[in-house]
């Protein structure tokens, strides 16, 4: 562990926990790779964001892969104006977002985990109504899949990432299709045509081709009662 020359540095290391020697040794680091301080700073910034969004508790000093996946999904929701969506539906963002001061004094809202879950719940309810309007029975709606066989709804009834992507296409007026548990395909456009399966042949045995038919010209009828 490198020694830092300030109390702030010691506090930072206390938050970050033990640092791998591979990250500390700058002599062996590949050219162009970030140094140990840059890595520590990046890790601390991610932790701070997860604490602020309440993805992690303040006592946590590391994250799991599912925490990072949730953070990325929340960021994508923010880029799609999730905060404005929530405010238009609920009239307030209290308890659902926190403010962050940017360099220069500008204030930016950050959606919390609770805010993202409320956003996803409302979207899921609205998506269900859209699917029902397209003829999907309510009891089968949670079993819908896209044409790549990915579930549109998670087991707890919220839109999956694949479901959000398909629902966004519907809202944008783009072609979107989904399948029922029975394999029936529905959508806001006629279902795509399936290509006829190619004829299977055994290895090493050529597929027999149909023989061409020989057309025989019709015989010329002789006039009745007239001898040649």
Q: What is the pLDDT of residues 104-139, one digit of tens each?
A: 778 888 999 999 999 999 999 999 999 999 888 888
pLDDT at 63: 93
Residue 218 has pLDDT above 70, yes or no: no
The helix or strand, by DSSP H or E, that contains position 177, with its residue range, turns out to be: strand 177-179
Domain-wise residue ranges, the chain: 13-63, 115-187
pLDDT recorded at residue 197: 57
35's torsion region: left (phi>0), alpha (psi -120 to 50) or beta? beta
Assign 215 a pLDDT band (cuts: 50, 70, 90): low
Full-model pTM = 0.66
Alpha helical stretches, state H, 80-188: 82-90, 113-133, 138-141, 161-171
Which residues are registered as beta bridge partners of 145? 151, 179
113-133 and 82-90 helices cross at what angle (nearest 10)? 80
DSSP for 131-143, please give it: HHHTT--HHHHTT
Higher pLDDT residue, 34 or 10? 34
pLDDT of residue 12: 34
pLDDT, tens digit (0-9, with 9 covering 90-100), for 12-50 = 333 334 333 332 223 333 444 456 676 677 888 899 999
> What is the sign, positive or negative, of the torsion defined by CA atoms of 108, 111, 112, 115?
positive
Q: Judge contact between 36 and 27, C-beta under 8 A.
A: no
């Amino acid at each position: 562990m490198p020694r830092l020359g300030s109390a702030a540095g010691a506090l930072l290391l206390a938050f970050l926990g033990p640092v791998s020697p591979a990250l500390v040794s700058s002599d062996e680091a590949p050219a162009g790779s970030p140094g140990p301080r840059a890595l520590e700073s990046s890790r601390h910034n991610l932790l701070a964001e997860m604490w602020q969004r309440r993805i992690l508790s303040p006592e946590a000093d590391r994250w799991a892969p599912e925490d990072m996946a949730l953070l990325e999904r929340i960021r994508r929701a923010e880029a799609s104006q999730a905060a404005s969506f929530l405010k238009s539906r609920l009239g307030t963002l209290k308890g659902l977002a926190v403010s962050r001061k940017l360099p220069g004094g500008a204030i930016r809202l950050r959606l919390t985990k609770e805010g993202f879950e409320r956003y996803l719940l409302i979207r899921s309810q609205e998506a269900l109504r859209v699917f029902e309007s397209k003829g999907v029975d309510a009891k089968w709606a949670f079993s819908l899949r896209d044409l790549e066989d990915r579930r549109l709804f998670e087991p707890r009834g919220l839109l999956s990432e694949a479901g959000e992507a398909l629902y966004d296409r519907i809202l944008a007026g783009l072609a979107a299709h989904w399948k029922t548990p029975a394999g029936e395909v529905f959508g806001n456009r006629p279902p795509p045509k399936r290509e006829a399966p190619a004829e299977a042949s055994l290895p090493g045995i050529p597929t027999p081709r149909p023989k061409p038919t020989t057309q025989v010209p019709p015989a010329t009828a002789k006039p009745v009662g007239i001898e040649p």
